Amino acid sequence: MAYLIPVVIILALIYNSIKVLMEYERGVIFFLGKFQQVKGPGVIIVIPVLQRMMRVNLQTITMDVPTQDVITRDNVSVKVNAVIFFRVVDPQRAMLAVQDYLYSTSQIAQTTLRSVLGQSQLDELLSKREEINVELQRIIDQQTEPWGVKVSVVEVKNVDLKRCCGPSRNRRKPSASAARR
């Protein structure tokens, strides 16, 4: 029965080298560390030891941009959150160019939300939603482009003018109006 042991080991190796990628997944294959190719969906063989595979999901990801405190150009303090739809279009760059493309995209979305809304008037923010969404999408997409991430839609969700604490609002008020004169 001793001759069975190598057979079992070989079978186990073969089993581990067979990977199934779903229709919406890609495998970035490295051959001895060097990028080799992106393999499509279906069954692929990854040679043990020599090759390594990183799995990338190409499905559109819906990510919540957490609530940001933004002060509009006309000095009104608002709480804004948004939702962003994006997907990986270039698995190679998503794996190679950046350490964590999900976290980085989320950070870019947060900072862009702040900066774009901080340059808008409150009126624009409320009435020109569409234009602001398009602007947000354009800027975020431009920054995530080197990472192979395509941002398809950004939508501002909740624009909240309510302030929790009365005194705090009153405090900012006079100076804001003073600065405007």
Residues 161-180 that bind a copy of itself (CB under 8 A): 161-163, 165-169, 171-180
Measured CA to CA in angstroms, residue 8 lies from 4, 11, 13 at distances of: 6, 5, 9
Answer yes or no whether residue 142 interacts with a copy of itself by CB under 8 A.
no
Long-range Cβ pairs for the range 158-167 (8 Å, 24+): 158/67, 158/79, 158/80, 158/81, 159/78, 159/79, 159/80, 159/125, 159/126, 160/67, 160/78, 160/79, 160/80, 161/76, 161/77, 161/78, 162/79, 163/77
- Minimum separation from the CB atom of position 7 to a copy of itself (A): 19
Q: CA-CA distance, 181 to 179, in Å (whole number)?
A: 6
- Minimum separation from the CB atom of position 10 to a copy of itself (A): 19
Give the one residue of 9, 13, 47, 60 binding a copy of itself; rule: CB under 8 A: 60
- Minimum separation from the CB atom of position 140 to a copy of itself (A): 12
Indicate the residue among 6 and 166 with the shorter CB distance to a copy of itself: 166
Here the tokens at position 155 are 């939508």
Indicate the residue among 10 and 161 with the shorter CB distance to a copy of itself: 161
- Minimum separation from the CB atom of position 161 to a copy of itself (A): 6
Give the one residue of 9, 10, 37, 59 binding a copy of itself; rule: CB under 8 A: 59
Answer yes or no whether residue 130 interacts with a copy of itself by CB under 8 A.
yes
